[in-house]
Amino acid sequence: MKILVVTQYFWPENFRINDLAHGLKDKGHEITVLTGIPNYPSGRFFTGYGYFSKRTEHCDGIRVIRMPLIPRGKGNWLGLSLNFLSFALSASILAPFYCQDDYDIIFVYEPSPITVGLPAIILKKFKTVPLMFWMQDLWPESLSATGAITSNRILKIVEFIVRLIYRKSDKILIQSRAFKNSIVKQGGDQKRILYYPNSAEELYKPVELEADATERADMPDGFCVTFAGNIGAAQSFATIIDAAALLRNQKNVHWVVIGDGRMYPWVVDQVKQRNLSRTVHLLGRHPAEMMPRYFALSDALLVTLKKEPIFSLTIPSKIQSYLACGRPIIAALDGEGARIVEEANAGVSCPAEEPSKLADAVMSLFRMDKTERDLMGQRGRDYFNHNFERNMLLDQLERWMRELCGEIKPCEF
């Protein structure tokens, strides 16, 4: 099949769509990616990229077409709005001229913003091919939950866009089963909704580090609880900082943060103001390829979210990465994410935004025998293989695409 992938984010930005596109390419399909100029998470164009450079390129056999956009800057409301809207507008106008091949299907990746669906709808009209829309975030709920948008008028406009995209999508893929009711309420046809969770790249697996591995120097001696990923409003870093403050006298308990994001300066300031530098360690951003190595040096892996109804429906994609690496998980969140950790018996969970409960969860693993923690990690790895394994999910997606294109007879979804 000739597949057009529409996504605002793509390599060298680090998103799951990178691996999915390469997985489909490796299965023999011809992949074209319509995306933006890379600027996430720094808010500045990556070196070598700009309005007049690298507008088209090839990435390991995948053709990449880049639409102009306004970089997200510091990630404030205005910067993000301009970033989202500029991509949607430029891609809607220019994509029909740049994407002139005959495609079999259009596949949209939507972690945010949902406006990425607008150029896909226009391309669907020009190409008269089916459209698959893979939902990572629910809109407009996620806007109000993070406080990004408070205007009812703007939220109504976003809701209109959401309903339009749902109507025009031939299949709506959801990364969490809990998304279904919200999508149906917004006019999505439940017969078109398919559960398609995130996987994790094949690099996420248990590893054993060499005795002289350079990562060892970055990790403190003691019991290490590691958070990896975006440091933003949704991750409720105030909960982590408060829990670390509660355990400041536990000198052998260390909090390791690997990542970057709009809340990173606030975290740095809080660590300094609250004298937590001995137990909270900010390692900054590192390539995804290094994460399994840092995870192997961690005693537990931490995932957190704010206490909002919308986030209780979400499965943070880092949960799949954590499970795949076979380390115990501490899940300080509500709903689907916590359910998976508990169902897998792969760690401990506690309610979102309750620092004392998070501190208790950390101490429960700290006091646990290492053998039991290792068993938790192994159970998590087994659960990942059964529910989220990469090649299994790629095979399922390929079947759905072939059915939608009429290449094979549809079966019951």
Residue 408, pLDDT > 50, answer yes
pLDDT at 147: 60
Residues 85 and 14: their CA atoms lie apart, in Å, by 21
Domains of the chain: 2-199+389-405 (3.40.50.2000), 215-387 (3.40.50.2000)
pTM value?
Answer: 0.91
- The mean pLDDT value for 269-297 works out to 97
- The mean pLDDT value for 29-57 works out to 95
Long-range contacts of 348-354 (CB under 8 A, 24+ apart): 351/307, 352/236, 352/239, 352/304, 352/305, 352/306, 352/307, 352/311, 352/312, 353/236, 353/238, 353/239, 353/306, 353/307, 354/239
DSSP-based helix, strand, coil % in the chain, nearest 5:
45, 15, 40
pLDDT at 333: 97
At 287-312, the pLDDT tens digits run: 999 999 999 999 999 999 999 998 99
Residue type (1 letter), 89: L
pLDDT at 54: 94
Residue 145, pLDDT > 70, answer no
Structure tokens at 39: 């600027």
At 370-395, the pLDDT tens digits run: 999 999 999 999 999 999 999 999 99
CA nearest 190: which of 206, 177, 209? 177
pLDDT-based confidence at residue 410 (cuts at 50, 70, 90): low
At 157-186, the pLDDT tens digits run: 989 999 999 999 999 999 999 999 999 999
Residue 142, pLDDT > 80, answer no
Residue 144, pLDDT > 80, answer no
Residue 276, pLDDT > 70, answer yes
pLDDT at 76: 84
Mean pLDDT score of the chain: 94
Residue 96, pLDDT > 90, answer yes
Angle at 175 between CA 120 and CA 295, to 5 degrees: 120
Residue position matching structure tokens 């159970």: 379
Residues 80 and 82: their CA atoms lie apart, in Å, by 5
List Cβ neighbours of 57 (8 Å cut-off, separation of 6 or more).
Answer: 64, 66
- The mean pLDDT value for 107-129 works out to 96
CA nearest 29: which of 388, 394, 390, 392? 394
Structure tokens at 204: 């996420």
Residues 186 and 162: their CA atoms lie apart, in Å, by 7
Residues 217 and 79: their CA atoms lie apart, in Å, by 37
pLDDT at 267: 97
At 224-256, the pLDDT tens digits run: 999 999 998 889 999 999 999 999 999 999 999
pLDDT at 146: 59
- For the CA atoms of 5, 9, 13, 15, the dihedral, rounded to the nearest 10 degrees, stands at -70
Residue 412, pLDDT > 60, answer no
Do 176 and 336 contact (CB within 8 A), yes or no? yes
- Using DSSP, state whether 105 is helix, strand or coil: strand
pLDDT-based confidence at residue 413 (cuts at 50, 70, 90): very low
Measured from the Cβ of residue 138, the count of other Cβ atoms closer than 10 Å reads 25
Lowest mean pLDDT among 39-43, 140-144, 290-294: 140-144
- The mean pLDDT value for 25-40 works out to 97
pLDDT at 73: 92
pLDDT-based confidence at residue 149 (cuts at 50, 70, 90): low
pLDDT at 210: 94
* Cross-strand bridge partners of residue 258: 228, 284
CA nearest 277: which of 244, 228, 316? 244
pLDDT-based confidence at residue 319 (cuts at 50, 70, 90): very high
